[in-house]
Structure 1
Amino acid sequence: MTQASLHTEPDHLVVTAPTLASGMAWVQQQLGVSMAPRIGGQHARLGTHNALLSLGPGFYLEVIAIDPEASAPARPRWFGMDEPGASATPGLAHWVARTDDIEAAVAASPIATGAITPMSRGALSWLITIAADGRLPCAGLMPSLIQWHSQPHPASALPDHGCRLLRLELHHPAPADLAAALAAVGIDDARVVLREARQSAIVAVLSTTQGERVLAG
């Protein structure tokens, strides 16, 4: 597959938290939507567990935390969760983009996205990029890449509470460089907006049944 034919699109937002309960409570406070009952599961290989919230067809929000009942993994956890203070408080940390050819997308990216790693949870199976040290690419602004091997998409099993992504704002000191990297892996989505800023930051603006709400780090 050539770079020009790559198709990659936003798949889910990642909220990290010190505990799953605190992350779910934070999302409810920010969006006015309850994530209970919990829908998600455990990632035994990486010692984490999660809960999910639908953001419409083919897209969702994931709250992820270190699983206190899991054994310590043999490698650093994903999403920068082992970084000092990374999950001190809940916040939007990252996003994941779905591609139809993860090997080609990784090869095309000028920003290292991590090694392609097989993962599974229950009936779900996928490939995802994870850095060897677990750190987030480009401070979380460059998405991890995912290719689902199972169908249907996890969002299809989630209750729809009317939340939708309006904009994913990526604040970066060199937005042109980040834009080139996103284009290289096949991301062309009007909801992804780049803004020049002194410090990197990721902000999601969502529509909800209670109006427009914002998630940030």
Structure 2
Amino acid sequence: MELDHLAITCASLEDGAAWAESRLGVPLEPGGQHAHFGTHNRLLSLGPGLYLEVIAPDPEAPDPGRPRWFALDEAREPALGNWIARVPDHAQALAEAPPEAGQPLDLTRGDLAWTVAVPPDGSLPWGAAFPTLIQWRAGGHPAERLPDRGVRLLALEVGHPRAPRLRELLAGLRDPRVTVVTSDSPTLRARLSTLHGEVSL
């Protein structure tokens, strides 16, 4: 299990991108559309193998006929709303994950192809404390295609009332940037370095 990307969720992609750009001091790159869920995104490199995504419902897309992923049907103001971990064997990782992790879906965007776990109701596993599991299948990795704007992840703090159990579930994630802490409710906090200093999301 490796940290793959962070997701800023919001009701409007324009608002979310402006919110992120104002804090990080760099432009985001065009992403694309996800027809299966009626969403679209913009992206930012966080260095090799890692990126930041701003994602929102796409007002130009047809109703997907199912709840959108990342709890985007409930999204309002831009916020760090989810984190995603990549795995080498999605079926095995999902078998070892809590049942709330969701069901596997094979998706594509352009020449990118991946398998991702999404709960049928579009909710976030453990309130986003447990990561969305992804396996990239074709087209490489999005971070490889993004220009380097000098932004890096320094730390990701994941809070949950059942922190000890969450640490057990994340035993395969050996990333010193990620820490699990006890909190009254699920929380995500990221600390990033930029050309203009440190920023918290």
Same fold (TM over 0.5): yes
Query: What percentage of aligned pairs have identical amino acids?
Result: 48
Match of 2:137 in 1: 149
RMSD: 1.0
- 5+ long unaligned stretches in structure 1: 1-7
Describe the SS at the equivalent of 1:189. coil
> How far has the Cα of 1:61 moved from its partner?
0.4
Distance 2:60 2:6 in 1: 24
Match of 2:30 in 1: 39
The answer as to 2:116 corresponding to 1:128 is yes
Matches within 5 A, 1:174-185: 174-183=162-171
Describe the SS at the equivalent of 1:63. strand
The answer as to 2:178 corresponding to 1:192 is yes
The answer as to 2:148 corresponding to 1:160 is yes
Segments ≥4 residues shifted beyond 4 Å: none
Describe the SS at the equivalent of 1:95. strand
Match of 2:200 in 1: 214
Q: Report if aligned partners of 1:116, 1:129 keep a CA contact under 8 Å in 2.
A: yes
Match of 2:100 in 1: 112
The answer as to 2:52 corresponding to 1:66 is no
Q: Taking structure 1 as the reference length, what is the TM-score of the superposition? A: 0.90
Q: Report if aligned partners of 2:111, 2:139 keep a CA contact under 8 Å in 1.
A: no
Match of 2:187 in 1: 201
Q: Report if aligned partners of 1:111, 1:181 keep a CA contact under 8 Å in 2.
A: no
Equivalent position amino acid for 1:45 in 2:
H
Equivalent position amino acid for 1:130 in 2:
V
Pick from 6, 17, 25 the counterpart of residue 24 of structure 1. 17
Describe the SS at the equivalent of 1:82. helix
Q: Report if aligned partners of 1:169, 1:194 keep a CA contact under 8 Å in 2.
A: yes
Equivalent position amino acid for 1:61 in 2:
L
Match of 1:56 in 2: 47
> How far has the Cα of 1:189 moved from its partner?
1.0
Q: Report if aligned partners of 1:42, 1:121 keep a CA contact under 8 Å in 2.
A: yes
> How far has the Cα of 1:30 moved from its partner?
1.7
Equivalent position amino acid for 2:195 in 1:
T
